[in-house]
Structures are given as C-alpha cells and as structure tokens.
Amino acid sequence: MLKYIAKRIGYAILVLLGVSLIIYFLTRLMPIDFVKDKVNSMATSGATVSADMVDAMYESYGLVENASFGQIMEGYVNWLADLVKLDLGTSFKYGIPVAEKIAMHMGTSFVIALIAAVFEFMIAIPLGITAATHQYSFRDYLVTILVMVGISLPSFFFGNVLKNWLSLQLGWFPSNGLVDATKDLSGFALILDYGRHVFIPILTVVILSIGSRMRMTRTNMLEVMNSDYIRTARAKGLKESVVINKHAFRNTLIPLVTSMAGLLPSLFSGAIITEQVFDLPGIGNIALQAMNAGDIPFIMGYNMFLAVLSVVGVLLADLMYAVVDPRVKLS
C-alpha cells in the first residue's frame, strides 16, 4: 500500500508540473494585459503616463510587454521557484498574497458546496435506486424528468428563476449577498441570516447537480440487478430489501467512488456562475474577476490549488476501491 501511494505521488508531481506549465503559458497568452488595462485606466482619468512609467510598471509586476517564448519560460521558472518555497505570489488585482486571498473567500464556497453535496447524495442515490428497482413505473419516469431538468437547465437561468420567484415575488429569502449589511447581527441570529442568504444558491446547486448522479446510480443499479448473483440471492429467499441494499447497491459503489474523485476539488473551486448570479463573495466569483483582470499570480495559484486537490481526489478514489470491493488489490 505504501509503495503504491509513493508511486502515485511521484506520478502526481510530474502531472502537476505539466499542468502548471500549460496553465502558465495559456495565462500569459490571454488577450488581457493587466498593465495595459491599468495604464488605459490612468490615461482615461486624465493622468499622463510616459513610456518609462509603463516599462517600470511591467518590471514591478515581473512582466515584459509582448514577451517572447524565452521570456515567458523565464517567468514560469521564477514562478515555480517561488512555488517550491510555498509562495504563490502577490495578487495584481487585490494587492495581497494569493494564498491569503484564497483563504479569505474559500470558506463561503466550501460551506455552500459541502451542504449541496450532502443533499445531492441524500436525494440522488435513493431516487436512482428506486428508479432502477421500479423500472418503467411512475417513479422511474419522474426521476427521468428530474434528470433531464438537472442536466438541461443552465445554472444562470435556473438561478435567476428561483431568485425571481422565491426572493423578488414571494420575498421569502434575500436576493443576493451573504449577510444583511443594514443589521448588526451576532450569534444565532447571524447564522440564521447566513442561512437565509445561501438557501437559494444551495437549492440551485442541488437541483442542477442531482440529475447526473441519479442517472449514474440508476444505470449502474440496472446493470447489477440483471446479474446472476442477484437472481441467486432471490432464489435463496432473501428479502428484496436485503438483495437491493446489501448485494446490489454495494456493487454500484465503484462507479460512484470514481465520480467522487472530482468531489474534492469541487468543494473548494466555487460555483462561479451561481456566485455571480447571487453576488456571493465566494472563491469562484473572486477567481472570475481576477481572470477578467489578467491577474496572473492569482490565476496560477487558484488553478494549481484545484489541480492539487484533483490529484488528491483521484488518489483517494483509488484507495477507496479497495474498501468498497475487497477483490481490488493495490500494488
């Protein structure tokens, strides 16, 4: 087991190096230049910006105007050297260390994603199982409709529909933000206010995410239910609940575990579009603003943070295979 983990970590380091190189070059090749935008903003406000000032600004940010391949590569090596020291650099847009900015806004996205993920599994898996065990029944057709809704509706459209209905028309929940700035709340009242503000975003994420999970559970259960050992279990006189929950469902866990490899980065990445719709100060919203501004250190730090979580998620999924299926041997 330890040998397997060490080998996978070695492969992961190579993967992360390749990912970081690709992301850095793509970031530097974006048609967005933070310094040029800043210079244009200064010029629009009436300030006089000389060529020497522009060169000094590029130098202060560690950039070069119209950089060549060699200059971009040099910038990558410098960034990588700082990363080895666990220094993600200072954000161009926000003016503070990237790690600090990520930590400031990661909590909001994590709480929303975690609560949504819990409800997603609690709803999607039982519905997928009941759809498979009652194939072509009303339950199955209802689940199929929910699957189509979850897969088809864009998050910005569905989020605005819920926002208009539950907030603007009925007035049950706030329409945006994370807390009511007009009130000085503390303790349980503050927690309740947070809950009222994040209810619609969480509902949006849950409804739009359960579709694929239900479809996966239903498909895997249907394959297992037609297996010989399921017919044998029934022929032995076992209760249907035992056949489904103990024998059938356990063998559907491997595909579910595979899908959970992407769960870890999704908990920290933030729902970018949903956070935009409801104006939440989550990490996804902050990352989108940084990308639109050409904030290279933040873009690199944020994406590498997610890349590391993705690699860790895949490793944990591989280890979980041996837990859910004793036949799997890691070596």
For the chain, what percent of residues have pLDDT higher than 70?
93
Which tokens hold the place of 196?
């009222």
CB 155 within 8 A of CB 204: yes
In the prediction, which pLDDT does 270 show?
Answer: 65
| Block residue for tokens 């007009």 | 182
Backbone angles phi, psi at 327, to 5 degrees: -75, -20
Closest CA to 220 of 244, 246, 255, 247: 255
Give just the sign of the alpha carbon dihedral 155, 156, 158, 160.
positive
Tens of pLDDT, residue by residue over 7-30, are 778 888 888 889 899 988 888 888
Rounded Cα distance, 68 and 176, in Å? 44
Arithmetic mean of pLDDT, 238-260: 73
Tens of pLDDT, residue by residue over 274-314, are 888 888 888 888 888 888 888 888 998 888 888 888 888 87
- Over 60: is that where the pLDDT of 316 sits? yes
Give the amino acid at 79: W
Confidence of residue 159 (pLDDT cuts 50, 70, 90): confident
63 three-class SS: coil
For the chain, what percent of residues have pLDDT higher than 90?
1
- Over 70: is that where the pLDDT of 157 sits? yes
Rounded Cα distance, 252 and 207, in Å? 22
Closest CA to 153 of 197, 219, 210, 108: 210
Intervals of CATH 1.10.3720.10 along the chain: 98-324
| Block residue for tokens 């029944």 | 137
In the prediction, which pLDDT does 326 show?
Answer: 57
The average confidence (pLDDT) of the chain is: 81
Rounded Cα distance, 289 and 268, in Å? 17
Which tokens hold the place of 220?
């895997």
Q: Which CATH architecture has domain 98-324?
A: Orthogonal Bundle (1.10)
Arithmetic mean of pLDDT, 218-235: 79
Which tokens hold the place of 126?
């039982």
CB 27 within 8 A of CB 299: yes
Confidence of residue 124 (pLDDT cuts 50, 70, 90): confident
Arithmetic mean of pLDDT, 247-255: 72
When mean pLDDT is compared across 194-198, 207-211, 313-317, 327-331, the lowest value belongs to 327-331
- Over 80: is that where the pLDDT of 110 sits? yes
Backbone angles phi, psi at 307, to 5 degrees: -65, -45
Q: How many CA atoms lie within 13 A of 155 on its CB side?
A: 20
CB 167 within 8 A of CB 174: yes
In the prediction, which pLDDT does 328 show?
Answer: 56
224 three-class SS: helix
CB 284 within 8 A of CB 297: no
